């Protein structure tokens, strides 16, 4: 007799993170991959700006669990269109979390290190978020909606995610690598500290969270060490065999971002690391694991 796998609704399935989660979770879950452009087996149409579309996707999947990795994840896009950002990043989570709460469905909701103002760094889950900008404020509001409306929900804050190229949206690491490979200089901030998250660890982290309903509430999952974007870029160049001299130091004030960026939004991930028995990869270890990823 074939075992029927429990249904998992994965929003943001075509995104940087969603693309990595879907295939990895496929063996233990019947994954419904939902987004505006998801295609193929298990794909569901979903427009997060439309509450009816969210309900339809939920009803079609009848999920035992939901991973919400769908969002307008570009802070500058959110800053320029706050009304749409609210609908996609906040109202959608209210709808989704209410559906989860009403049906006793477990919700794992992705959030961000940018909920912190970055004045201090090494934030734990007990530190008070002070979001700056439309995107960050919306993500914090979405966290609250998830936790209040879907009891037992997990809010998983990740940071500057990097991984091997899988098509779709390019990450900061792809842009950096493309410049270095072309022999072009790449500017990197000396005054922005991050604990970048290794994408390859996220499927295992998500699987552990799905497997253990006692893990509820807010968790951080960044990298195992903190580095400026400049330090991280230098390490990447060295490990990948590019010329480190191509990395040019830059200051945040020189960049014209529509949305503010925190100085040091580094995350302390030790609580979740201890709970699931996995150590978050340092920048160096994460980059070494990517050697050869671009062929």
Query: Where on the chain is the footprint of ligand NAP (CB under 6 A)?
Result: 12-18, 35-38, 46-49, 69-73, 88, 110, 112, 139, 158-161, 169
Q: Per the residue annotation, which of 16, 123, 135, 162 is the catalytic one?
A: 135
**Cβ-closest residue to ligand NAP?**
15
CB of 74 to ligand NAP, least distance (A): 7
Q: For residues 10 and 180, which CB has a smaller minimum distance to ligand NAP in the complex?
A: 10
Strand (E) or helix (H) holding 208? helix 202-211
Q: For residues 163 and 179, which CB has a smaller minimum distance to ligand NAP in the complex?
A: 163
3-state secondary structure of 173: helix
Q: For residues 4 and 81, which CB has a smaller minimum distance to ligand NAP in the complex?
A: 81
Q: For residues 169 and 288, which CB has a smaller minimum distance to ligand NAP in the complex?
A: 169
Taking the C-alpha atoms of residue 288 and residue 290, their distance in angstroms, rounded to an integer, is: 5
Residue pair 152/249 in contact by the 8 Å Cβ criterion: no
Token pair of 265 as six digits: 């939004």
Taking the C-alpha atoms of residue 155 and residue 285, their distance in angstroms, rounded to an integer, is: 26
Residue pair 33/58 in contact by the 8 Å Cβ criterion: no
Q: For residues 115 and 276, which CB has a smaller minimum distance to ligand NAP in the complex?
A: 115
CB of 40 to ligand NAP, least distance (A): 12
CB of 41 to ligand NAP, least distance (A): 16
CB of 126 to ligand NAP, least distance (A): 20
Residue pair 281/224 in contact by the 8 Å Cβ criterion: yes
CB of 4 to ligand NAP, least distance (A): 26
Q: For residues 158 and 186, which CB has a smaller minimum distance to ligand NAP in the complex?
A: 158
Q: Is 162 a catalytic residue?
A: no
CB of 86 to ligand NAP, least distance (A): 12
Q: How far is CA 89 from CA 48, 140, 147, 235, in A?
A: 8, 10, 15, 33
Burial zone of 243 (CB within 10 Å; 0-12 exposed, 13-18 middle, 19+ buried):
exposed
Taking the C-alpha atoms of residue 24 and residue 31, their distance in angstroms, rounded to an integer, is: 10
CA angle 114, 118, 120 (to 5 degrees): 140
Taking the C-alpha atoms of residue 124 and residue 224, their distance in angstroms, rounded to an integer, is: 13
Please list the active-site residues.
Answer: 135
């Amino acid at each position: 007799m074939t075992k029927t796998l429990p249904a998992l609704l994965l929003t943001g399935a075509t995104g940087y993170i969603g693309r990595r989660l879907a295939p990895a979770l496929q063996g233990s879950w019947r994954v419904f991959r939902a987004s505006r452009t998801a295609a193929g087996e298990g794909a569901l149409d979903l427009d997060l700006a439309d509450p009816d579309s969210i309900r339809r996707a939920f009803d079609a999947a009848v999920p035992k669990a939901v991973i919400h990795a769908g969002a307008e994840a570009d802070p500058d896009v959110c800053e320029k269109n706050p009304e749409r950002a609210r609908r996609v990043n906040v109202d959608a989570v209210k709808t989704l979390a209410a559906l989860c709460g009403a049906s006793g469905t477990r919700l794992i909701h992705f959030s961000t290190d940018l909920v912190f103002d970055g004045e201090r760094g090494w934030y734990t889950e007990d530190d008070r978020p002070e979001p700056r900008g439309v995107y960050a404020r919306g993500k914090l509001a979405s966290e609250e909606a998830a936790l209040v409306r879907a009891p037992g929900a997990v809010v998983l804050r990740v940071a500057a995610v990097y991984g091997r190229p899988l098509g779709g949206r390019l990450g900061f690491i792809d842009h950096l690598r493309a410049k270095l490979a072309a022999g072009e200089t790449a500017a990197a901030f000396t005054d922005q500290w991050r604990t970048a998250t290794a994408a390859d660890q996220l499927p295992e982290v998500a699987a552990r969270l799905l497997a253990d309903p006692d893990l509820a509430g807010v968790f951080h999952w960044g990298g195992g060490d903190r580095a400026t974007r400049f330090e991280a870029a230098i390490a990447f160049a060295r490990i990948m065999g590019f010329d480190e001299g191509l990395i040019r130091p830059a200051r945040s004030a020189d960049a014209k971002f529509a949305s503010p960026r925190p100085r040091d939004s580094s995350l302390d991930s030790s609580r979740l690391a201890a709970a699931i028995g996995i150590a978050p990869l340092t920048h160096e270890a994460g980059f070494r694991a990517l050697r050869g990823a671009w062929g």
